[in-house]
A = this chain, B = another copy of it.
Amino acid sequence: MTTVQARVEAALERALPPREQPPQRLHEAMRYAVLGAGKRVRPLLAFAAGEAAGAAPEDLDTVACAVELIHAYSLVHDDLPCMDDDTLRRGRPTVHVEFDEATALLAGDALQSAAFELVASGTAAGDRGARLEMVRLLAQAAGSRGMAGGQAIDLTAVGRTLTLPELEFMHILKTGALIRASVTLGARCGALAAAELDRLDHYAKLIGLAFQVVDDVLDADASTVTLGKTAGKDAAQGKPTYVSVLGVERARELAEELRREAHEALDGFAERARRLRELADFIVLRRF
C-alpha cells in the first residue's frame, strides 16, 4: 500500500502544473490542496481494481490521479465558509485559510478541469473509445447526479431527521459515486468480462457506503488531532449521520456487514483481488 501511495504521490506531482509557472499563486494553491497529505483511498482503489483486471501499473497513474484531483477539488470547495466553513483539513489549514477564499474557489475549479484534461491526454491503456467512456463516467460521478448532487442534498439535510434510505441516497451520491468511479476507471484500464466488471462495481458500492459509515463513527469518536480535521462537526451542525440515525453500535455493525459483503463480491477473483480485499479491511478497520 505504501509503495502505491508513493507512486501516486509522484504521479500527482507530475500531473499538477509547476509552482513556478504563472499564475503562480493559483498553481501553489492547487499543489497545496493535493500534495503531501491524504490517505489516497481513491487512487489505491483504482490501482487495486486495475490489478484485479490485469492492467499495467503505468496505465493506472492517469486514472488514479484524476479521481484524486476530483476528490481534492471537492474538499477545497466543501471547506469554504459558505459550505462547511472548516479551517483544518489533513492536519493543515484549509486552502482558503492558507491562501484566500477566491484563490480556493479557483483552485478547486481548476483541479476539476485538470482531472478531465488528464484522462483525455493520458496514455492510459485501452483505445480512445475506452478513454472517452472514462471521461463520461468520471464527469457523471462528479456532477449533479453524483458527488456535487450529494453535497447539495447534504446542505438541505442540516437540522432535519433523515430516514436510513434518505441518508443512504445522499451518501451514494456524495462519496459513493466517486469511489465507484475509482474502481471502475481502474478496472477499465485492464480487461474484464462484463460480469466481472459488475462484481467490482458491486464491491465498490458496498465499500463506498462502508467508508461513510466509518467516517461518521470516527467523527463521533475521535479527537481532532487523530482525525486531522475538525472532529464532531457533523453533530454540532445538526447534520444527520449514520451515528445519529443508528447509534454508534449499530453503525459499527453495519460497517462490518458491508465489509463482509464486499469480500463476498470478490469471490471468484482469487488472488487477483487481494488488494481490493485489503482495502475493504483498511476502510472499515481504520482509526483515522
Interface size class of A (residues with CB under 8 A): 35 or more
Which residues from chain B contact A149 at a C-beta distance below 8 Å? Answer: 22-23, 26, 110
Chief secondary structure at chain A's binding surface: helix
Which residues from chain B contact A30 at a C-beta distance below 8 Å? Answer: 144
Q: Is the CB of B106 within 8 A of A148?
A: yes
Q: By CB atoms of chain B within 10 A, which of A73, A105, A129 has the most?
A: A105
A173 to B146, CA, bound (A): 29
Q: Is the CB of B151 within 8 A of A106?
A: yes
Q: Is the CB of B136 within 8 A of A120?
A: yes
CB of A193 closer than 8 Å to a CB of B: no
How close is A65's CB to chain B, nearest CB, in angstroms? 14
CB of A155 closer than 8 Å to a CB of B: yes
Q: Is the CB of A113 within 8 A of B26?
A: no
Q: Which of B21, B112, B152 contacts A112 (CB 8 A)?
A: B112
Q: Which of B103, B110, B136 contacts A143 (CB 8 A)?
A: B110
Q: Is the CB of B153 within 8 A of A23?
A: yes
Q: Is the CB of A113 within 8 A of B142?
A: yes
CB of A228 closer than 8 Å to a CB of B: no
CB of A27 closer than 8 Å to a CB of B: yes
